[in-house]
Amino acid sequence: MASLPEHLPPLPSRPPDFADDFARGLSDTRWVPHYLPHWTTPDRSATRYGLVPEGLELRIEADQLDWRPEDAPMRVSNLQTGTFSGPVGSTHGTHRHRSDGLAVRTETPLQLLFAPSRGRIDLTVAASRADGCMLAVWLVGTEHLSPEHSGEICVVEIDAAAIGEVTTVRSGLKAHDDPALVTDMAEVAVALDASVLHTWTVIWGDGETLIGCEGLVVRRIPHAPDYPLFLMIDLFEIGPTQGSYPKAATVSRVTAWGNGAPAQG
């Protein structure tokens, strides 16, 4: 007998700490329109985007540079809720996700626009069906207090090729350099077309992470980071340029409840 779907907890009764539907444009007090700018240069990290009736459209355009020459071919447009890096040449910075010699190329100031260590985030997004594209929603450790604060909650990664009436997504936790976390990633089939707007949810704290979509639990994981995290929403194109441009994914709304102002260090 098939088990009944598990519903997510109801929304908090208090007003959200962070809410944006992009009706007033892209706010520089909420978002940094670059992808991990400290590991590369501004001309490569800068986000391409446009405002549309549904919200904000992340775009990959034909003349867009690879994020780093070492990672080519890979272009990305991203929104993130803060920045941190050490000085140029150092290895200190948010999301040291590669082990092949990442070093700071552009020193970025500490910005904690929104960096909760526990809470709930609901995001309404539509992924791209364009060749080579992936839409991702991540929470990553800021690392401004400790390099061990590097864990990642992968809310969802959606490859264009995996989208259909049922979409296969990747979701879970990545420990990176956090010795207290356990990497736990999985592919999950969700009964929806992810190229149209749907709401994804992450709830974390007290040693547990819940990831859901349209009010139903997709993953329940018995671990959770317990330090400040930045939210990142990314559209990647991986591989050689092909097809028509711009390639686009939509971010319609982000609503979040955190645990107050993060520690400044």
- Is 9 among the domain residues? no
Per-residue model confidence (pLDDT) at position 77: 99
Asked if 214 and 135 count as a contact pair (C-beta separation under 8 A), the reply is: no
Checking if the pLDDT of 14 tops 90, the result is yes
What pLDDT, on a 0 to 100 scale, did the predictor assign at position 5? Answer: 85
* Mean pLDDT, rounded, of the chain: 95
Residue 34 lies in a domain: yes
Asked if the structure places residue 265 within a domain, the reply is: no
Number of domains in the chain: 1
**Does 18 reside within a domain?**
no
pLDDT at residue 32 is higher than 70 = yes
Q: For the segment 131-155, what is each residue's pLDDT rounded down to a tens digit?
A: 999 999 999 999 999 999 999 999 9
Does pLDDT of 103 surpass 70?
Answer: yes
> Looking at the predicted structure, is the pLDDT value of residue 66 above 90?
yes
pLDDT band at 73 (very low <50, low <70, confident <90, very high): very high
Q: Please check whether residue 69 lies inside any domain of the structure.
A: yes
pLDDT given for residue 114 in this prediction: 97
Please indicate, yes or no, if residue 10 is contained in any of the structural domains: no
Q: For 106-133, what is the mean pLDDT?
A: 98
Whether the pLDDT of residue 106 is over 50: the answer is: yes
Task: Encode pLDDT of 163-174 as tens digits.
Answer: 999 999 999 999
3-class DSSP string for the chain: CCCCCCECCCCCCCCCCEEECCCCCCCCCCCECECCHHHCCHHHHECEEEEECCEEEEEECCCCCCCCHHHCCEEEEEEECEECECCCCCCCECCCCCCCCCCCCCCCCCEECCCCCCEEEEEEEECCCCCCEEEEEEEEECCCCCCCCCCEEEEEEEEHHHCCCCEEEEEEEECCCCCCCCCEEEEEEECCCCCCCEEEEEEEECCEEEEEECCEEEEEECCCCCCCEEEEEEEEEECCCCCCCCEEEEEEEEEEECCCCCCCC
Within-domain flag for 14: no
**Residue 183's CATH number:** 2.60.120.200
pLDDT exceeds 60 at position 261: no
| Inside any domain, residue 12 | no
Q: What is the pLDDT of residue 3?
A: 67
What domain range includes position 88?
23-257
